[in-house]
């Protein structure tokens, strides 16, 4: 149901795990990376994992060193405080959508199924893809497709959505695929569809805002010498992670104190790693993955 962990050995090696340390897996999913972290922890080590998708709770690991929290990872700080944990030795995140979610014919994540346009990772939240497609203004829609998927014809796509919904409510993936047909060049149909779906999913789950929120917590929570390792899958989230590691913020320049001195909280361990050709052959969904890692200064 869930994909194999992406870049497993590279991910674990990058964390430089302290055997009795405390670690966080922000994106539990099928538990692949969490199990590898636990294998490298000693009997006094601890791992806290997060996943807001209730389906992921079925993959819970029976281990006294492990705790799985069914919440969005933006609540990292308050959960650590609640469990009397001041700081941690490392934080890991695989920001990809799980194969389980893509392969579900009911969730609306995939272009392959005629399903309801939902796309919520947390099914208790109120905003789904249907609401966005049927209620957002033309400008709002255009901005989503441009900012989250770099679609150059985002204005035309937004206009087509407004026209389509004036005659018919957009409820299913088949409706969305139908209205997008004029924008799907031969040979690139799935690529364009995937970009539109990606932008909608990011907006539904507020992924960029949530990512900024959790990254901003890390300088306070990761102890000196601790490591953060993050796998990204598209340019929007990768730019955020890269910029945060470089500058300690999301601007193009690091924040400076009153003396004009900038002090970034993290230093990159390496530029980035990508999956091997062998791994991509086995797991094609890993093809766009980038692993970035940094140590707390």
Give the closest residue to 24 by CA, choosing from 218, 201, 180, 190. 218
- Low-confidence winner among 46-50, 123-127, 238-242 (lowest mean pLDDT): 123-127
pLDDT digits (tens, 9 = 90+) for 155-188: 999 999 999 999 999 999 999 999 999 999 998 9
Name the one residue in this structure whose structure tokens are 């806290």.
48
Domains detected in the chain: 8-99+207-296 (3.40.50.150), 126-204 (1.10.150.170)
**Residues 6+ positions from 268 with CB-CB distance below 8 Å:** 245, 246, 292, 293, 294
Q: For the whole model, what pTM was predicted? A: 0.89
Average pLDDT, the chain: 92
110: confidence class by pLDDT, cuts 50, 70, 90: low
259: confidence class by pLDDT, cuts 50, 70, 90: confident
Q: b vs e for 216-227, b when ≥16 Cβ sit within 10 Å of the residue's Cβ?
A: ebbeebbeeebb
pLDDT confidence of residue 111:
67
3-state per-residue secondary structure call for 259-294? CCCECCCEEEEEEEECCCHHHHHHCHHHCCCEEEEE
The pLDDT of residue 18 is above 90: yes
Report which secondary-structure segment, H or E, holds 141.
Answer: helix 138-149
């Amino acid at each position: 149901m869930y994909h194999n962990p992406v870049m497993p050995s590279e991910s674990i090696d990058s964390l430089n795990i302290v055997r009795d340390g405390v670690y966080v897996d922000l994106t539990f999913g099928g538990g692949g990376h969490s199990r590898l972290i636990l294998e490298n922890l000693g009997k006094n080590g601890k791992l806290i994992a997060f996943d807001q998708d209730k389906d992921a709770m079925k993959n819970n690991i029976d281990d006294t060193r492990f705790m799985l929290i069914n919440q969005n990872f933006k609540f990292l700080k308050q959960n650590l405080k609640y469990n009397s944990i001041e700081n941690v030795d490392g934080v890991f995140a695989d920001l990809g959508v799980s194969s389980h979610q893509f392969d579900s014919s009911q969730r609306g994540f995939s272009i392959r199924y005629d399903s309801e346009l939902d796309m919520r990772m947390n099914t208790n939240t109120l905003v789904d893809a249907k609401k966005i497609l049927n209620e957002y203004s033309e400008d709002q829609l255009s901005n989503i497709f441009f900012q989250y998927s770099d679609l150059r014809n985002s204005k035309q796509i937004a206009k087509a959505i407004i026209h389509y919904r004036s005659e018919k409510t957009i409820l299913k993936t088949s409706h969305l695929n139908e209205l997008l047909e004029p924008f799907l060049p031969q040979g690139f149909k799935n690529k364009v569809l995937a970009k539109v779906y990606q932008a909608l999913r990011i907006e539904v789950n507020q992924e960029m805002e949530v990512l900024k929120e959790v990254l901003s917590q890390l300088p306070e929570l990761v102890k000196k010498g601790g490591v953060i390792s993050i796998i990204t899958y598209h340019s929007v989230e990768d730019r955020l992670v890269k910029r945060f590691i470089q500058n300690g913020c999301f601007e193009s320049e690091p924040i400076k104190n009153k003396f004009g001195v900038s002090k970034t909280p993290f230093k990159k361990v390496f530029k980035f790693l990508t999956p091997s050709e062998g791994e991509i052959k086995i797991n094609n969904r890993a093809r766009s993955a980038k692993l970035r890692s940094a140590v707390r200064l």
